[in-house]
């Protein structure tokens, strides 16, 4: 079995075998959660500089909630609305694979690098989407990448909507705290 850091690197490399591995490894849910948390911290640093601890804490809690909700939505869409004949999955499998699919987001802190931040902010979300497609295809046992893309687009809309909602709620919370 791979170490946590080896798994993160393999997830960033978009290795299908990694997503199959974490799908089957019920003990990897904590590792997937760690990736989501680290992604949230890296994003907080990369997009807003060195944020306050309160900002990082709130963003992390909201990111964890969005992760769980996204996995459930993708589970429902992928197993109930758009299943393939070979589709067998559960929400835990999707939480693990989607959690590791957020590994490219660990590079968000590089958005602080002068003159390179815009490239990071453009490339990482595309990389994340590619990782999600692979994670969903493997977790839902799809033979078709197109089906995985469709499920991911639907899930991604909810994910982006969640981030937007998180941003609005955070701004509202910060306005109340002032």
| Stretches in the chain below the pLDDT threshold 50 | none
User: 40: helix, coil or strand?
Assistant: helix
Model pTM score: 0.85
User: Can you give the pLDDT at residue 18?
Assistant: 97
34 to each of 2, 38, 69, 80, 96, how far by Cα in Å? 15, 6, 17, 29, 10
- Residues 154 and 131: their CA atoms lie apart, in Å, by 15
pLDDT at 158: 75
Question: Domain locations in the chain?
Answer: 4-177
The closest of 159, 152, 151 to 130, measured between CA atoms, is 152
40-92 pLDDT, tens digit per residue, is 888 877 776 665 677 777 778 888 888 898 899 999 999 999 999 999 999 99
Structure tokens at 148: 């995985």
For residue 164, the number of C-alpha atoms closer than 13 Å in the C-beta half-sphere is: 6
Look at residue 115 in the predicted model and tell me its pLDDT: 84
Q: How far apart are CA 22 and CA 99, in angstroms?
A: 10
pLDDT at 133 (0 to 100) = 96
Interior angle at CA 52, CA 164 and CA 122, nearest 5: 45
């Amino acid at each position: 079995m791979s170490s946590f850091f080896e798994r993160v690197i393999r997830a960033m490399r978009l290795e299908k075998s990694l997503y199959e591995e974490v799908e089957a490894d019920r003990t990897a849910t904590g590792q997937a959660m760690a990736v989501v948390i680290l992604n949230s911290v890296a994003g907080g640093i990369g997009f807003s500089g060195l944020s306050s601890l309160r900002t990082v804490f709130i963003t992390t809690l909201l990111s964890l909630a969005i992760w769980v909700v996204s996995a459930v939505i993708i589970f429902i869409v992928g197993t109930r609305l758009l299943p393939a004949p070979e589709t067998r999955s559960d929400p835990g499998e999707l939480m693990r694979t989607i959690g590791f699919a957020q590994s490219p987001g660990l590079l968000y802190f590089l958005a602080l690098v002068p003159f390179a931040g815009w490239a990071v902010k453009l490339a990482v979300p595309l990389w994340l989407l590619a990782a999600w497609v692979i994670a969903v295809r493997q977790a839902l046992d799809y033979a078709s990448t197109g089906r995985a893309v469709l499920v991911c687009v639907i899930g991604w809309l909810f994910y982006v909507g969640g981030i937007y909602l998180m941003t609005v709620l955070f701004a509202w919370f910060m306005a109340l705290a002032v």
